[in-house]
Chains A and B, each alone.
Chain A
Amino acid sequence: MKAVGANVPRYDGVDHVTGRSRFVDDFSLPGMLWAKALRSPLASARVLRVDTSRAEAMPGVHAVITHSDVPKNVVGHQEFWGIAADEPLLAEHEVRFVGQLIAVVAAETEAQALAAVLAIEVEFEEREPFFDVRKAWDSGQPQVTPDGNIYFYYPDQPQRQVRKGDVEAAFTVADVVVEGVYRPTAVEQAPAEPASALSVLEPNGRLTVHSTSQALYYSMEITARHLCVPVGQLKFVGGTVGGGFGGKIDTVTEPVTAVLALKARRPVKWRWTREEEMLCSSTRAPWHIEIADAVTKDGWILGRRTLTLHDAGAYMRTSAYACSKHTFHLAGAYSVPACAFNTFVVMTNHVPTAAMRGFGVTSASFAVETHMNRVAEVLGMDPWELRLKNANRVGDTSPTRVVYANPSTVTTLLAAADASGVDLPAELRAMSNGKRVGALLPAHLVEQQREPKAHPLVWRDGRPAPEGSN
């Protein structure tokens, strides 16, 4: 643990300041081809016909691929977690979002590739798109997927939910109910380096893929499944990534360039333009979060109901996972003994949404903390006091019944107040993370107190771990 707290030189520091760090786009190989994509201009349409014949005949073009060139076109990004595959790498009979891939060209120059893209003919039958998650239950809305617009986590239950304590009772005895609606919008990760991939067919039949993925093994697995080859047939090279922030996990450039390289029998590089990044790449999702808190006059949160509508966009990708995380965090850093949280994954004709820093939880934090300020405002109470009273302490339990053994909410709040120059009264400054006693243990919090279990860490040979490492 020598590195923690120390100023350790970056292993790539000298490379970065001499411009010698090699990003995917910095690699070039003899005979390398450039890829350009034909993307859907429509948010929702049936694809009646795609004719690539003129494109294939154009100067410099070595390959044009559509869905029929992909050995397994529909591969889910989280099939290994039981979330069904739903997204074609290249569009088949329909397009569901503006920017969805239809065909990709590999040619000797970018200009030739683009000219060929312009020569691809597509016939669409436009459909009404669905965009507003708030209309998810309205009748007569366009259906984004064959199973409708609301994802079912379980056969009989659409939402991810958390239930704890008696929410009905909490709302009955509350002095005030404070409601709020929070709608953080989509955010584009906008890394300085656009997504890129370079696939190289090796003489021994393996494929080397230079990738900007933040999760090389993850992308390797997905690429292998698209190609129907064992993972061992692939060699993924990467790790020098010009920013990702969650936007370089969805795996598209690697399988596309791999399929092109196999068809063209040449290395193929695809680097996205800034336009593609901004318009067609996955973003942090827009969320619609409704919170209702049952509170007492003196600032205890007795119970919380939430309804979240998550805009997953046109395909699932990692949204179901994000919404699970989101739901578990909707009490924030505070002790809420009665919870009824409901989160729905709603499919729309937006670009499929994905991870961005704090994936699923950032939206929860934003909503919860803003709501705490609203509660304080309604009660005429100092927002610091509201937070410090309700802050998680040793022995409190989370909405999912995790017993807090070592929460740092109080310490963090006090440090934040200090750093912001906020002068808290002595009784608040004296608070600690320790078990609730006296006035800090009102009747409604008694039942959810638990004894935190010790989880002693030991080395494999049985030696105890160092003091304080639990």
Chain B
Amino acid sequence: MSSYHAPGSRALLVERVADVLVPTTPAGAITAFGDGSGITVVGGGTVVTPLLTHGYLWPERALMLHAAGLDKIVDGGRLEVGAMTTLAEVAAIAPEPLASAARIPDYEIRGQGTVGGNISVGGDLQPALVALGAQVRSAGLGGERFEPIEDFLAAGGPRLVLSVAVPRPLGGVYLEQRRRHAHTYPVLTVAVARRGDGIHVAVGRQAERAVAVACRSVERALAGGATPAEAAAAVVEDVQTEDDALASAWYRRRLLPLLVARALTQLEGTR
């Protein structure tokens, strides 16, 4: 005997959440989050609210972060942004390639979406932060951690993002490829950054809910003196593209070296 319902019937307006926690300090948020089990975190709302509305999440406890003081920005030698910093704020003050990454969503979503939410769900900031060598401060099981973003992304598990530290690069470029109308998601994103130790390259949107990938083969080729086009050709060794509703794996695979080459060429132009 099987019980079914189809996705189309799941619309729901949440009425029966038992516990909503609204901490007023970062410490309060960390305590409320605990080890992250059995709790739904609401940052800007752009990620979680549709899941609530359409019946994909039935939280028993919810943690709302809007008052937790996680929106502090320290614009110093490196840029530190709290997890609740909006994408609009990031677009206004961050270095490239991060600023352009934050401009991907539309005006309203930029004003509401947050850094913490964006990096938690394969958002468009990920490749920029990977290319920049950013570090993530997070809380959860095992306590607070401060680690390179690639380690944070690889570790998984429920974590409460507290802040992100972004070293200042010597130059950066962010490119995305979209279908040609106003209202679409990118099908591929490329971030490149010139740092003290060389050029770093990362790719995003290579699949649905993809985690951004650092392109070590491209980086090695560049360090070995390859031209942008030559180095970009190596990207297919680093990135596994997939089909999704937006684009095919084939299209992404063909596009990838072109977009990487273009980003690297533009980066040269920013010297």
Q: Name A's B-contacting residues (CB within 8 A).
A: 36-42, 98-99, 109-111, 114, 117-118, 120-124, 272-273, 275-276, 279-280
Contact = CB atoms under 8 A, between A and B. Distances in A.
A387 to B, nearest CB: 27
Contact of B4 (A41, A109, A111): A41
B53 to A, nearest CB: 9
B15 A111 contact: yes
Nearest to A114: B12
Nearest to B3: A121
Contacts of A110: 11-13
A121 B8 CA distance: 17
Contact of B9 (A38, A111, A123, A124): A38
B122 to A, nearest CB: 20
Interface in B1-20: 1-16
B55 interface: yes
Interface in B52-80: 54-55
A273 B54 contact: yes
A275 B10 contact: yes
Interface of B: 1-16, 54-55
Given A114-B10, A273-B54, A275-B54, A39 B5 contact: yes
A109 B13 contact: yes
B3 A39 contact: no
B163 to A, nearest CB: 34
Contacts of B9: 36-39, 114, 117, 276
A157 to B, nearest CB: 37
Nearest to A124: B2
Contacts of B14: 111
| Max chain A Cβ within 10 angstroms of own Cβ: one of B3, B7, B8 | B8
A100 to B, nearest CB: 9
A172 B111 CA distance: 68
16 contacts: A37-B9, A38-B6, A38-B9, A39-B9, A40-B4, A42-B4, A111-B12, A111-B16, A120-B5, A121-B1, A122-B2, A122-B4, A273-B11, A275-B11, A280-B6, A280-B8
B157 to A, nearest CB: 29
A40 B2 CA distance: 12
A300 B226 CA distance: 55
Given A111-B15, A111-B16, A273-B54, A123 B2 contact: yes
Contacts of A121: 1, 3
Contact of A39 (B2, B8, B12): B8
A117 B2 CA distance: 14
Given A109-B15, A123-B2, A124-B2, A99 B8 contact: yes
A98 B6 contact: yes
Contacts of A272: 8
A124 B4 contact: yes
